[in-house]
Amino acid sequence: MNRKPSTVTKLKFLLSASAMVFGSFMVSAQQQVSLKEAIAQALKNKAEAKKASLEVKKAEYKINEAKAGALPQISAAINNSYNPILQTSVLPGELMGKPGELIPVTFGTKWQSSNSVTLYQNIFDQRVFTGLKAAKTTREFYVLNAELTNEQLIENVATAYYSVFVQEENLNTIVASYQNTEKVRNIIKSLVDNGLAKAIDLDRTNVQLANISASRQQLINAVELSKNALKFYMGIPIETAIELQEKNIEPQPQLLNQTADLDQRSELKVLNKQRELLQFNKQATEAYLYPTVGLTANYGWQGLGNSFPYFSGKKDGTNWSDFSSIGLAIKIPIFTGGQTKAKIAQAQIDIESLDQDIASTKLGLDLDYKNAVSNIENSLISLQSMKDNVALAERVESNTKSNYQYGLANLTELLDAQNALTQAKQNYANSLLDYKLAEIKLIKAKGQINTLQQP
């Protein structure tokens, strides 16, 4: 006899269907992110990357500024002056037919106007030539510095990305453990209801479920915090829903077979380029000991009269005349009191101090590389051990569950086996994170961190 579904059954069906539809909408609304996409967004959005790009752009203008010193400099000047009281001087009376007397004479005009255009061209100035080379090197320095900034950002994104991955793996493990324990609890409850098991066994299982539920909530929070850190490094709004695209981690032991060229590390490249800049700074200081040669030329108009020159002419007593000059200016430094030599000595000390930093950085990078190799070797061993341990824990849990069903094992043994399996899986997930962090460190130590963003 067929029964019509009750109102409650219909309501449950509608709620389940709505939850499925809403759930699939939420999943589709999430932004699926691969590691390469996360890195690409970080390099596009993060302030550090944008500022590094602006520094490169600024260096281009520094080159233009340095080039300007070798180009002609043209300027114009307009000077107008009004003399309400003209200066009076005296001339010998002999000039005026009055021997023995001093004749007061007023010189000048009420208005004077001078309008000129001046050109200066550097012919030889060692500071200009050195500055041009330094400006080009400055651009190269900022490009390398931008690469170093990007590498640090890539490392942060990769570390945050795999932290999310491992936290999600741990969460999946806890969820599976909860589901398995819940099944056991339901079986025990059925046995208790039928008088075939003790109530204490049901209480112990409920305690186990409560503990797993608390761990699950902690991991849910941990996943959320890890995702927030990843979104921060990506430079996207924290409220953006994201889902990792990678579903597994494959070890790459072949990385140990590749050699490393530490001279290609961006940290060293930046320091070496900085050394070049310090050398140019020293050369620019030395350039003060060189003579400078420049060509000057000017042309102008001068108006003199007792009326405002621009609105008067000869009929008003204003006289306009032009003038011009061409000259060669040579400046030869002879003695500066030792100031230039002192500055040169300081510049040399700056170079020697940086050489110490370069040597120290090389030692540090070599140490980082050797430590990275050791860490990844140990991580591979630990990872394999944890993987084997998971397989063993799964067999133990399966056999214990089977024995429990046939009365050959007690509840304590079953719960212990499930706990051991959960712990083994979490240890394996944590070993995966340790391995990926060691892998990232090794890739960076080889100067190949940029390969993480390559397709």
Kindly report, residue by residue over 61-119, the tens digit of the pLDDT.
888 888 888 888 999 999 989 888 888 888 787 777 777 778 888 877 888 899 999 99
Dihedral class, residue 3 (left if φ above 0, else alpha if ψ from -120 to 50, else beta): beta
Nearest C-alpha neighbor of 101 from the set 111, 90, 110? 90
User: How far is Cα 330 from Cα 214, in angstroms, rounded to an integer?
Assistant: 85
User: How far is Cα 411 from Cα 200, in angstroms, rounded to an integer?
Assistant: 10
Do the beta carbons of residue 440 and residue 159 sit within 8 Å? yes
The pLDDT of residue 59: 83
pLDDT at 234 over 50: yes
Q: Which of 272, 302, 332 is the last residue of a domain?
A: 332
Q: Are residues 388 and 239 in the same domain?
A: yes
pLDDT at 355 over 90: yes
Helical packing angle, 199-234 and 126-193, nearest 10°: 160
Mean residue pLDDT of the chain comes to 84
Retrieve residue 440's tokens: 């990232």
Domains of the chain: total = 2
Q: Are residues 315 and 371 in the same domain?
A: no
User: How far is Cα 53 from Cα 154, in angstroms, rounded to an integer?
Assistant: 16
User: How far is Cα 212 from Cα 176, in angstroms, rounded to an integer?
Assistant: 10
CB atoms within 10 A of CB 227: 23
Q: Are residues 275 and 296 in the same domain?
A: no
The pLDDT of residue 227: 93
Give residue 29's pLDDT band: very low, low, confident or very high (50, 70, 90): low
Who has greater pLDDT, 71 or 248? 71
pLDDT digits (tens, 9 = 90+) for 389-420: 999 999 999 999 888 878 888 888 888 898 89
User: How far is Cα 198 from Cα 360, in angstroms, rounded to an integer?
Assistant: 69
Domain containing residue 371: 30-68+125-290+333-453
User: How far is Cα 212 from Cα 426, in angstroms, rounded to an integer?
Assistant: 13
pLDDT at 287 over 90: no
Highest mean pLDDT pick, 225-239, 260-274, 306-320: 225-239
Looking up residue 379, the CATH number of its domain turns out to be 1.20.1600.10
Kind and range of the H or E run holding 111:
strand 111-124
CB atoms within 10 A of CB 249: 17
Q: Are residues 224 and 286 in the same domain?
A: yes
Percentage of the chain surpassing pLDDT 90? 30
Q: What is the pTM of this model?
A: 0.72
pLDDT at 16 over 90: no
Q: Are residues 150 and 284 in the same domain?
A: yes
Q: Are residues 165 and 43 in the same domain?
A: yes
Give residue 30's pLDDT band: very low, low, confident or very high (50, 70, 90): low
Three-class SS of residue 83?
coil
Percentage of the chain surpassing pLDDT 70? 92
User: How far is Cα 146 from Cα 308, in angstroms, rounded to an integer?
Assistant: 60
User: How far is Cα 425 from Cα 422, in angstroms, rounded to an integer?
Assistant: 5
Q: Are residues 378 and 402 in the same domain?
A: yes
Q: Pairing between strand 31-33 and 242-244?
A: parallel
